[in-house]
Chain A
Amino acid sequence: MTEVRETLLPGVGVRHEFTNEDGRDMGVIVHHDGRREFLMYSAKDPDSCAQLFTLSETDTATLAEILGVSVVNEVVSEVRQDLGGLALEWIELDDDHCAVGSSIGDGAYRSITGASIIAVIRNSRPIPEPGPDFQLFAGDIAVIVGTHDEVNDLRLALCS
């Protein structure tokens, strides 16, 4: 695949750009609020660009579905998907999370919050259905499932 270059725009969001097969540079700005701005760089002055169009977050997802590609979103480390009332969320654990260093059973997460940790991704390797003795470490990605409120509660339980 073509190389995609990424630039931080402080206060605005992130700009992704690549050179297309015609040799022209194209780009997308992902705004902090989720808007996507599509750009085409000028052939005459390659430092300047024309705005092609702007899409909302939802419209971008629709467009991505039509094109059959996944939506890359580097801005958020936590992703949540809603499946008819059920929420599925990825939480990356770092040193600040109090859950780090203790086992899933220690936290009694399911009995307290109702949501469960259904898998843990460690070093890009998925570990499905971790048991109560499973130790959580910084860098782990916990995949949790439950209702909206339960997932929120579990997220707080992992963090605070």
Chain B
Amino acid sequence: MLLAAGSAETALAFLEIGLLVGGLGILSALASRLGVTAVPLYLIAGLAFGEGGIKELDVSEGFVSLTGEIGVLLLLFTLGLEYTDHELREGLRTGTRQATLDMVLSAGTGLAFGLLLGWSPLASVLLAGVTWVSSSGVISKVLDDLGRLGNRETPSILNLLVMEDLAMAIYLPVVAALIVGGTVTETISGVAVALGVVAVILAAALRYGTALSDRLVRTSDESLLLTVFGLVLFVAGTAQTLQVSGAIGAFLVGLALSGKTEERTAVLVSPLRDLFAATFFVFFSFQIDPTDLLSMLGWAALLAVITSITKVATGWYAAARAGVARNGRVRAGTMLIARGEFSIVIAALGADLADGPELGALSAGYVLLTAVLGPLATRFSAPIDSGVQRALSPFRQRMRFSTS
């Protein structure tokens, strides 16, 4: 497309993409200096260069859009790579109750919030997804940075993340089918087809995953990278053709790979993912009008506060079930506050809905707040907890007097 156009246009595209990606590099460096995830900074960069921002991109928008789509696939693919099927089965065995509470509290709040804002049920279901999924990317990094991987509340946190990611394997295709919509029967058959396709890909992944991994284990890095990248795009494209979210196809390919092949692929693909995913976040906020974001910021803050409380409750419950004491429960709860890449992926699905612009603006503001404040909250969970206790103690005493 754009390469076929005149060389002046190509040159302009190079300049735009070069400046954009280079700028993201500087933002990413800034983010790691500040000890926060780069996602919020990418979103802000997208706001600045998108609709109604300080400078709009002209020629390279099509390119950035497609790269962003690939970024989503690679995000989901690497997420699938992270887990072994043993871990998934253990998660399902031990974590269903915590995961259900998580869904009821956090997704339920998002759903109710959307309906109260007067949005369509579908947009509200998407907002439920946005508030539901904690960011495994942010959380695993924060756990590592704070040296909490060995803590006793950590398995509870990681199990919840596994369950949320698994739940997405059902949520995303169902929502994708709902968005395509049509009559009631068309929608129902769409959902059924979606779930069927997921089941078929999952079965194939479990059946042939090991054999595939063994075939690939001896190939060169170059060949492995190209084969896997091609496979991810092909499966995602097949899923997309059947109106099932392509992202889930990519996730299941990630699950299928195992052993040495999985490790090598993770190393090879992660730089690609960083590049493509960064452009996805930028492109998402390209489409958001900064004035929309500002007008939704109050709602975003309110939603962030409520769903932070629901996440703290979930983490508290999950850690308590693992026999962890108060401090650890508070650490687990606050750790789960951060939302990130997944929330944006879900919000992006609704871009074409009538409530899409509002959903996008609200979600961007929401992720900006939780992704920055969540890690801070968990870093300072102990002083925050004692502060809350001190603030509540007069009430408690009064309660005690009134009951005695």
Question: Interface residues, chain A, CB within 8 Å of chain B?
Answer: 7-12, 15, 17, 27, 29, 32-33, 37, 39, 41, 45-51, 96, 152, 155-156, 159-160
Interface residues of B in 84-142 (CB under 8 A from A): 86-88, 90-91, 136, 140
Per the bound structure, the CA–CA distance linking A46 and B328 in Å amounts to 9
Residue contact B214 to A10, C-beta cutoff 8 Å: no
Residue contact B218 to A152, C-beta cutoff 8 Å: yes
Taking A8-B87, A29-B150 as contacts, is the C-beta distance between A160 and B162 under 8 angstroms? Answer: no
Per the bound structure, the CA–CA distance linking A41 and B149 in Å amounts to 12
Taking A33-B263, A45-B327, A47-B327 as contacts, is the C-beta distance between A12 and B148 under 8 angstroms? Answer: no
Interface residues of B in 189-219 (CB under 8 A from A): 210-211, 214-215, 217-218
Residue contact A9 to B155, C-beta cutoff 8 Å: yes
Residue contact A10 to B151, C-beta cutoff 8 Å: no
Main secondary structure of the interface of B (DSSP, over half): helix
Q: Which residues of A contact B153 (CB under 8 A)?
A: 47
Residue contact A11 to B325, C-beta cutoff 8 Å: no
Per the bound structure, the CA–CA distance linking A15 and B153 in Å amounts to 12
Number of interface residues of B (CB under 8 A): 34
Q: Which residues of B contact A51 (CB under 8 A)?
A: 147, 150
Q: Please pick, from A10, A27, A33, A48, the residue contacting B148 in the complex, using a CB distance under 8 A.
A: A48
Q: Please pick, from B90, B147, B158, B328, the residue contacting A12 in the complex, using a CB distance under 8 A.
A: B158
A11, A39, A152, A160: most-surrounded residue (chain B CB, <10 A): A11
B9 contacts partner chain A, Cβ-Cβ < 8 Å: no
Chain A proximity of B316: nearest CB distance (Å): 13
Q: Please pick, from A45, A50, A155, the residue contacting B325 in the complex, using a CB distance under 8 A.
A: A45
Per the bound structure, the CA–CA distance linking A96 and B136 in Å amounts to 32
Per the bound structure, the CA–CA distance linking A22 and B162 in Å amounts to 36
Residue contact A8 to B83, C-beta cutoff 8 Å: no
Per the bound structure, the CA–CA distance linking A8 and B91 in Å amounts to 9
Taking A8-B155, A10-B87, A49-B151 as contacts, is the C-beta distance between A159 and B211 under 8 angstroms? Answer: yes
Per the bound structure, the CA–CA distance linking A10 and B148 in Å amounts to 14
Closest A-B pairs by Cβ, 5 of them: A47-B328, A39-B150, A10-B87, A11-B82, A47-B152
Chain B proximity of A148: nearest CB distance (Å): 10
Per the bound structure, the CA–CA distance linking A69 and B149 in Å amounts to 25
Residue contact B151 to A11, C-beta cutoff 8 Å: no
B43 contacts partner chain A, Cβ-Cβ < 8 Å: no
Q: Which residues of A contact B162 (CB under 8 A)?
A: 10-11
Q: Please pick, from B88, B150, B211, the residue contacting A49 in the complex, using a CB distance under 8 A.
A: B150
Residue contact B151 to A47, C-beta cutoff 8 Å: yes
Per the bound structure, the CA–CA distance linking A50 and B140 in Å amounts to 17
Taking A11-B83, A11-B161, A32-B263 as contacts, is the C-beta distance between A159 and B214 under 8 angstroms? Answer: yes
Residue contact A155 to B214, C-beta cutoff 8 Å: yes
* 29 A-B pairs with C-beta separation under 8 A: A7-B155, A8-B90, A9-B158, A10-B83, A10-B90, A11-B82, A11-B162, A12-B158, A15-B149, A17-B150, A29-B149, A32-B263, A33-B263, A37-B150, A46-B325, A47-B152, A48-B148, A48-B151, A49-B147, A49-B151, A50-B147, A51-B147, A51-B150, A96-B210, A152-B217, A155-B214, A156-B214, A159-B211, A160-B214
Taking A47-B327, A96-B210 as contacts, is the C-beta distance between A12 and B149 under 8 angstroms? Answer: yes
B261 contacts partner chain A, Cβ-Cβ < 8 Å: no
Per the bound structure, the CA–CA distance linking A48 and B210 in Å amounts to 37
Chain B proximity of A131: nearest CB distance (Å): 27
Chain B proximity of A8: nearest CB distance (Å): 5
Per the bound structure, the CA–CA distance linking A15 and B322 in Å amounts to 15
Q: Which residues of B contact A50 (CB under 8 A)?
A: 147
Chain A proximity of B174: nearest CB distance (Å): 24
A17, A32, A47, A50: most-surrounded residue (chain B CB, <10 A): A47
B324 contacts partner chain A, Cβ-Cβ < 8 Å: yes
Per the bound structure, the CA–CA distance linking A39 and B325 in Å amounts to 19
Residue contact A159 to B210, C-beta cutoff 8 Å: yes
